[in-house]
Amino acid sequence: MKAYVLRRLLLMIPTFFGISLILFLILNLAPGRPGAQQSADLSQSMRGEVTAESYKIFREQFHLDKPVLFNTRFTLSREEVRALVSAAAGIGQTTAAERVHAQEELEDLGASAVPHLVSLLDAPDPKLRDAVTYFLRIDATRPLITPFDPRPSPDVRARNRAINEENAELRTLRYRTEDDAATKRAVTDGWKRWFAAHRARFEHGARDKLAMFFFDTRFAAYWHNLVRLDFGVSLTSREPVTRTLVSKLKYSLTLSVGSLVLAYLIAVPIGVFSAVKKGSRADRALTLTLFMLYSLPSFFVATLLLYFFSQASAWESLRWFPIGGWQSSDASELTTLGQWRDIGWHLVLPTICMTYGSLAALSRYMRSGLLEVIQADYVRTARAKGLSERVVIGKHALRNGLLPILTLLAGLLPAVLGGSVIIEYIFGIQGMGLWVVDAINQRDYNVILAVELFSTVLVLVGLLLTDLSYALVDPRIRYE
Amino acid sequence: MRNENVVRAVILGALGLVIALLIVLVAQTNHLESRLIVQAQQIRTLGEATDRLAAGGVRVVGGGSNVPTDAAPPGVKFLHPDVPNFFKPKDVHWPPPGANLEGVLKGAWDTGDPKGFNPLLENSAYNYEFIENYVAYRLGDMNAWTNPSDWHGEIAYRCEVTDDFKEFTFYLRPGAKWAVPIGVNLDDPAHAWLKGDHPVTAEDYVFTLDMIMNPQVESGPNRNYYENLESWKALDATTLVLRWKKKEFNNVPESMVLAPLPRFIYTRDERGAEYPKETVGTNFNQHWYNSKGLLGSGPYSMTRYEPGSKLVLTRNEAFPGEKPAIKSIVYSIYTDSALTLLKLKAHEIEVGELRAGQYREEILQYKTSGKPPQGSPFFNGDILCDPVELSSYRYIGWNADRPYFSDKRVRRAMTMAFDRKRILENVWLGLGTLITGPFPPSTPYYDASIPLIPFDLAGAKKLLAEAGWSDSDGDGIVDKELHPGEGRKPFEFGLMVPIGAKEPTVLANILRDDLLKIGVKMNLETAEWSLFLKRTDEKSFDAYAGAWTTSWEPIELYQIWHSSQADVAKGSNRVGFRNKEADRIIDALQATFDPAERVKLAHEFHRILADEQPYSFFSTKKVVVCHWKEVDNVSYAKTFPNVDVRPWSVKRTEP
């Protein structure tokens, strides 16, 4: 048994790696880009535009400028760079889409494009030359070393100061299109002098190239953080993802655990009743009711409940529950007990919405599980002993009949944390579900990945628990 | 057997006792806690009362404090005493005479938790309208209620504009202090450095500009506006000099609207240690205070933020300028804007915007016919609603780089087939004003004499025929040879609309039916918002339904309409509008400061756009703002943010 558990646990590592790889690829290949502002009414103001420089820092910070899986940028040729620059500068026949792509590509290439850009400084086409100095300014600037280290060593500080100074100097190496030839020549000479002085930085040996090929990529950077359990910061709020995730659990867990417990408390007696009175009119009526409930969409029920039983109800005597949210706005003025009651009060309606739909399935499982048991020999024996029906069902049959729906629990683990988007949206509870949907809309890769990987772990653990619980409740099943 | 029963009884009894004791314990703690809370409330009220007494009992009532002055206060020497003050007198004063100064206003924040509060990194309109607008102490502000072209001083009482509009010298009122930081435990010795008074000085404004201009700070959009700023320096704690590279009209608003950030916080980590100078910029992007709140020095301070629940602004009693009547503004945070109506009716909020559908359900349908339901708060005088015009307009953009729309006759035909009046009235329920150009009709820049192009399908068909589009194969769709030798192509294009944008989708469906009547086939292309932006950036669309937020002065013309911006990657001139004359006017407007001259130029520009029809200009945007009857002195500003509650008051006082 121990060996089995150990084997399963070890197997989780490659599975997890594989899943993370697939998730990472899907995410990074999806169209759209992070950093786009959400706008519900398609209103845009000029302040919403992101400029190249800011956008580059943003991409660098989150490694979005790197290739996804393998880095082959050291094989980049001068001609490829020339083609990109001319496309970005709109030389020849180019569409706007090609221009945008070429520009983004050049901005992402960073240092690997620099030697080629420098060699293009003498290109005959003046328009090309202008574009080359523009992209040099963007690609030659370097990011700081460990910028978030609160107490950097004097050495790092000195190097960062040097980087800042160099960047500032490089930013001055610019000219306007209308400047005269001498000014332009001075600027290009400046770039050449700078490159000659720092040439070593751009030359890589075979070992460097091999390391770059595998490790200078988005995936490697992400995994590098992941093994240290660092999910990074959200691309939109800049908050550490793990911290937000934990804070969101409070909402989603309360809601889903509450509704799960409630569902079991209601479904089990219903299932027992249906099994005992199998085929009776009451059983059929219950089944019909449950399936009708099952088919009612939760957003519809939620709206109805709000309409009839919330503070906004048209009938004053029915204004029982708050309109939504997690707490009253004056909750901080309440005692701890009062706050709990207040939260409970707010959660009544959402919990109802999340519960009623699962009653049908759960009670059916219970019913069929119990029916199977009731026909078993030992139940017949118990009856034959003359035990009352109550003792037969309640003591002998129920325990075994419960097994199937208890093993279901482990499988529900990921759903428990996933939260319900619709219920959270309608009742204004800022749980996991809403957070993830928002992250998807904003292409907040770090948040999406963190949540997905978190639920991957839960699924894997849940599967293991399910298997183990089978063995636990049924001695006939054994894992070697 | 008996023994066992005894043991069981004892165990049960003990358990019962423990539970009973626990209940007593919880009840006692609860009782104690509630007494503590009551005491804390009493202490707070007492403290406020003493504050008021100390402040002299009566607050400064509007007038004196914002009057521009040409005489130097003692100890201050003006650099250019002969230059008249650029500031005009403030137009609207608050608090209104006799208003309740203790009122609490409950508002709605229906877009979920804010992503962060740092105004240089966050571009959210809500953050600007609901927080920054109230907590920032700007150098100057527009006379937004009467003539937004005029500026009055806020923290600066005097502004000298010299050297041909290139140099701006601001003299700051002393005495402003930074608010108390929130979201941190100030009793913790690690946060002791945050305590005490921190005065607002010219250095804070310089620091803010340092951050805007620092290439490590992800504030690109803001940096664009200050690209022409040559130097910014504080001569002393109360004198700030901004120098611009060239004479441009934008220098005026960009110099004025600068809202300062507290230098003492943004240069330090949470424990008060200064960041190494070279990484202040990168740390600014992920600064610990960004998610806690916005520290201001203006008429209000952000005093509480509970994610998912509420955000509170409280009047800053130490504010040296005019203090508004409303004592505190409490925003409920929720995610479904449909709840606004329910919360309004339940009196959970007092101000909120209705959606178009809700406006029809609750108000509009009873205005035209029938009796409103009994007790409807919208008709018994409890809740009052006003349609408020926002500084924003809707349009359909035609991609002139696509062969279909390169001809202005075709674009005009599209506008003629676009039944703007009917769509505005039936789809947007009349919430807007039809327009013919890019300026808000409430500004003098809008030329009201330009006639609206009528809805005229026959005329549209004629224009299409003039442009060479005719149905040669009898399939009901007009066609034309777009490139010589490639054969005739049918007129079929896509109109891009963001997914989930309800009204624009209905607009598209109506337009599709009308276009089909003149032989043009339009396909509705829905795109998710980030994809929508990507496609407009790449100009890979035929046409799209969009909206722009505008400002009072026409300062966005260059980005949206200048030819040079049509070929810039990700530029805002998405429709490929290129017009030499329009370029000349845009440049001239930038260099012209005379109001009458500016109006003349703007009218010329407006006429060119009305003739060229790069967009089918549709309408301005109105929202239905509703408020409970106890909200008093309600007025709306002429420019963004139009709903600004500083002159308002609330009659009822919270217990």
pLDDT score for B619: 96
> Are both A206 and A319 inside the same structural domain?
no
CB of B431 closer than 8 Å to CB of B624: yes
Q: Which distant-in-sequence residues (6+ apart) come within 8 Å of A293 by Cβ?
A: A356, A357, A359, A360
- Contact criterion met (CB < 8 Å) for A43 and B621: yes
Q: Determine the residue among B223, B289, B529 to mutate to test chain A binding: the one whose Cβ has the most chain A Cβ atoms within 10 Å.
A: B529
Tell whether the model's pLDDT for residue B15 goes beyond 70. yes
The mean pLDDT of B403-432, rounded to a whole number, is 94
* Closest chain B residue by Cα to residue A56: B218
Domain end, chosen from A226, A250, A267, is at A226
In terms of pLDDT, which residue wins out, A408 or A52? A408
Q: Do residues A353 and A465 both lie within one domain? A: yes
Partner residue opposite A429 with nearest CB, options B276, B291, B308: B308
Lowest-pLDDT range of A465-479, B172-186, B435-449? A465-479
pLDDT above 90: residue B41: no
- B548: nearest CA partner in chain A: A44
Q: Is A458 inside any structural domain?
A: yes
Does residue A460 share a domain with residue A320? yes
Whether B642 and B605 map to the same domain: the answer is: no
Match 């507290």 to its residue by tokens: B262
Same structural domain for residues A186 and A252? no
Q: Which residues of A touch B528 (CB under 8 A)?
A: 32, 441
Task: For residue A347, count CB atoms less than 10 angstroms from its CB and return exposed for 0-12, middle for 13-18, buried for 19 or more.
Answer: buried
Confidence of residue A270 (pLDDT cuts 50, 70, 90): very high
The answer to the question of residue A149 being in a domain is: no
Q: Looking at residue A347, which CATH number applies to its domain?
A: 1.10.3720.10
Nearest to A329 among B26, B273, B310 (CB): B310
**How distant is the Cα of A385 from the closest Cα of chain B, in angstroms?**
23
Is B18 within the bounds of a domain?
no
ipTM surpassing 0.95, yes or no?
Answer: no
Query: For residue A427, what are its two tokens?
Result: 């009742």
Q: Is the pLDDT at A42 greater than 60, yes or no?
A: no
What angle do helix axes A241-276 and A281-295 make, rounded to 10 degrees? 160
Q: Which domain holds residue B129?
A: 92-335+630-650
Q: Which residues of B touch A88 (CB under 8 A)?
A: 569
Triad B31, B32, B35: Cα angle to 5°: 90
**Within an 8 Å CB–CB cutoff, is residue A208 touching chain B?**
no
CATH number, domain with residue B533: 3.10.105.10
Identify the burial level of B159 via C-beta atoms within 10 angstroms of its C-beta, where 0-12 means exposed, 13-18 middle and 19 or more buried. buried
Is residue A25, in this structure, part of any structural domain at all? no
Nearest to B445 by CA among B295, B606, B318: B606
User: Which range (A85-99, B158-172, B316-330, B522-536) has the least confidence?
Assistant: A85-99
pLDDT of residue B394: 94
- Mean pLDDT score, A350-369: 88
- The partner residue sitting opposite A54, judged by closest CB among B219, B348, B556, is B219
Average pLDDT of B232-254? 93
The last residue of one of the domains, among A226, A249, A270, is A226
Q: How much is the pLDDT for B216?
A: 81
Tokens of B512: 């599709």
Domains in chain A, number:
2
pLDDT band of B20, cuts 50, 70, 90 = very high
Verify that B260 and B204 share a domain, yes or no: yes
Q: What is the pLDDT of residue A20?
A: 86
Is B645 within the bounds of a domain? Answer: yes
**How would you label A408-444 residue by residue, b for 16+ Cβ within 10 Å and e otherwise?**
eebeebbbbbbbbbbbbbbbbbbbbbbbbebbbebbb
**Predicted pLDDT of residue A49:** 38
Q: Are residues B404 and B515 in the same domain?
A: yes
Predicted local confidence at residue B653, as pLDDT:
63
Q: Which residues of A touch B308 (CB under 8 A)?
A: 251, 325-326, 428-430
Q: Does B635 reside within a domain?
A: yes
| DSSP summary character for residue B103 | B
Residue type, A134: Y
Chain A contacts of B278, Cβ < 8 Å? 144, 157, 160-161, 163-164
Predicted confidence at residue B616, as pLDDT, reads 96
* Nearest residue of chain A to residue B390 (CA atoms): A43
Q: What is the pLDDT of residues B555-564, one digit of tens each?
A: 889 889 999 8
Residues ≥6 apart with Cβ < 8 Å to A251: A326, A419, A424, A429, A430, A431, A432, B308
Write down the residue that tokens 């219950």 correspond to.
Answer: A286
Q: How does pLDDT run across B476-494, given as a tens digit for each residue?
A: 999 999 888 888 999 999 9
CA distance B27 to A351: 27
pLDDT at B593: 93
Which residues on chain B are in Cβ contact (under 8 Å) with A439? none
**B244 pLDDT above the threshold of 60:** yes
How near does any CA of chain B get to the CA of A477, in Å? 36
Q: Which chain A residues in 136-165 lie under 8 Å from chain B, judged by CB atoms?
A: 141, 144, 147-148, 150-152, 157, 160-161, 163-164
Identity of the residue in B215, B222, B547 whose CB atom sits nearest the CB atom of A42: B547
Structure confidence at residue B55 (pLDDT): 55
In the predicted structure, residue B162 carries a pLDDT above the cut 50: yes
* pLDDT (tens digit per residue) in B519-542: 999 999 998 877 888 888 888 899
**The pLDDT of residue B64:** 42
Residue B214 pLDDT exceeds 90: no
Nearest to B120 by CA among B301, B258, B270: B258
Contacts B124 to A, Cβ<8 Å:
37
Q: Which of B106, B269, B336 sits opposite A426 (nearest CB)?
A: B336
Task: Answer whether residue A428 is part of any domain.
Answer: yes
Q: Give me the residue from A148, A171, A430 closest to B215, CB to CB.
A: A171
Does residue B307 lie in a domain region? yes
Domain count, chain B: 2
Question: Who among B29, B275, B335 is closest to A428 (CB)?
Answer: B335
B202 and B98 housed in the same domain: yes
Instruction: Kindly indicate the confidence band of residue B54, based on its pLDDT and cuts at 50, 70 and 90.
Output: low
Q: pLDDT tens digits, residue range A83-128?
A: 888 888 878 777 777 887 888 888 888 888 889 999 888 888 888 8
Q: Could B220 and A429 be called an inter-chain contact, meaning their C-beta atoms sit closer than 8 Å?
A: no
Q: Which of A147, A425, A443 sits opposite B283 (nearest CB)?
A: A147
Domain membership of residue B22 (yes or no) is no
State whether A298 and A394 are in the same domain.
yes
Contact (Cβ atoms closer than 8 angstroms) between residue A214 and residue A70:
yes
User: How many Å apart are CA B4 and CA B641, to the nearest integer?
Assistant: 78
Phi-psi bin for B110: left (phi > 0), alpha (psi -120 to 50), beta?
alpha
What pLDDT score does B58 carry?
42
Tokens of B581: 């004359």
Among B571, B566, B606, CA closest to B586: B606
- The residue of A33, A47, A105 whose CB has the most chain B CBs within 10 angstroms, and thus the best one to mutate to test that interface, is A47
Per-residue model confidence (pLDDT) at position B59? 47
Q: For residue A265, what are the domain limits?
A: 241-473
Q: Using a CB–CB cutoff of 8 Å, tell me whether A167 touches chain B.
A: yes
Q: Which residues on chain B are in Cβ contact (under 8 Å) with A438?
A: 112
Residue B142 has what pLDDT? 93
Quickly state the pLDDT bin for B2 (edges 50, 70, 90): low
**Residue A440: closest C-alpha in chain B:** B530
For an interface test with A, the pick among B37, B279, B531 (most A C-beta atoms closer than 10 Å) comes out as B279
A478 within some domain:
no
In this structure, is residue B225 part of a structural domain? yes
Predicted local confidence at residue B220, as pLDDT: 67
Residue A148 belongs to some domain of the structure = no
Best A46, A167, A247 residue to mutate vs chain B (most B CBs within 10 Å): A46
**How high is the pLDDT of residue B38?**
85
User: A417 vs A68, which has greater pLDDT?
Assistant: A68
* Residue B185 belongs to domain with CATH number: 3.40.190.10
Rounded to the nearest 10 degrees, what angle do helices A241-276 and A336-374 cross at?
40
Query: How many contacts does A have with B, using Cβ atoms within 8 A?
Result: 230
Residue among A100, A333, A338 minimizing CB distance to B538: A100
DSSP string, A153-185: -HHHHHHHHHHHHHHHHHHH----TTS-HHHHH
Residues B625-639 pLDDT 10s? 999 999 999 999 998
Q: Assess contact for B66 and B89: CB atoms under 8 A.
A: yes
Give me the percent of chain B exceeding a pLDDT of 70: 95
- Which of A29, A33, A43 to mutate to probe the B interface, most B CBs <10 Å? A43
pLDDT at B444: 94
Q: Are residues B440 and B293 in the same domain?
A: no
Identify whether A342 is part of a domain: yes
Could you tell me if residue B371 is inside a domain? no
Write the pLDDT tens digit of every residue in A366-409.
898 888 888 888 888 888 888 888 888 877 788 778 877 877 87
- Taking CA–CA distances from B551, the nearest residue in chain A reads A45
To the nearest whole angstrom, how far is the Cα of A30 from the nearest Cα of chain B?
10
Is the pLDDT assigned to residue A10 strictly greater than 80?
yes
* Same domain (yes/no): A462, A434: yes
pLDDT of residue B279 exceeding 50: yes
Q: What is the model's pLDDT at position B314? A: 95
Of A417-431, B26-40, B93-107, B367-381, which one has max mean pLDDT?
Answer: B93-107
Q: How confident is the model at residue A470 (pLDDT cuts 50, 70, 90)?
A: confident
| pTM for the structure as a whole | 0.81
Nearest-neighbour CA in chain B from A213: distance (Å)? 28
Shared domain for B510 and B589, answered yes or no, is: yes
A244 in reach of chain B (CB within 8 A): no
pLDDT over 90 percentage in chain A: 6
Q: Are residues B601 and B638 in the same domain?
A: no
- Asked if B327 and B399 sit in the same domain, the reply is no
- Name which of B33, B279, B572 is nearest A46 (Cβ-Cβ): B572
Q: Say yes or no to pLDDT of A419 above 70.
A: no
Q: Which of B72-76, B199-203, B240-244, B512-516 has the lowest mean pLDDT?
A: B72-76
Examine the pLDDT at A418 and tell me if it is beyond 70: no
What pLDDT digit, counting tens, does each position of A316-349 carry? 788 888 887 888 777 777 788 888 888 888 999 9
For B396, the enclosing helix (H) or strand (E) is: strand B383-398
What distance in Å separates the CA atoms of residue A208 and residue A108, rounded to the nearest whole number?
19
DSSP B102: S
Chain A stretch 441-460, residues whose beta carbon is closer than 8 A to a beta carbon of chain B: 441-443
Mean pLDDT for chain B overall: 89
| DSSP bridge partners of A321 | A310
Give the side-chain half-sphere CA count within 13 A for B3: 0
> Is residue A1 in some structural domain?
no
Whether residues B310 and B180 share a domain: the answer is: yes
B461 and B561 belong to one structural domain: yes
Residues B493-508: pLDDT tens digits?
999 998 888 899 999 9
Minimal Cβ distance to B220: which of A51, A167, A430: A51
Q: Looking at the structure, tell me whether residues B543 and B604 fall in a common domain.
A: yes
If pLDDT is split at 50, 70 and 90, which confidence band does A52 have?
low
What distance in Å separates the CA atoms of residue A120 and residue A111, rounded to the nearest whole number?
15
Q: In terms of domains, do A220 and A249 share one?
A: no
B569-595 per-position pLDDT tens digit: 777 888 999 999 999 999 999 999 999
Same domain, B401 and B548: yes
The pair of three-digit structure tokens given for residue A467, joined into one six-digit string: 């298997």
Same domain, A194 and A331: no
- Which residue would you say has higher pLDDT here, B342 or B70? B342
The answer to the question of residue B51 being in a domain is no
Cβ neighbours of B335 in A, within 8 Å: 424-425, 428, 430, 434
Higher pLDDT, B261 or B8: B261
Condensed to tens digits (0 to 9), the pLDDT of residues B595-625 reads: 999 999 999 999 999 999 999 999 999 999 9
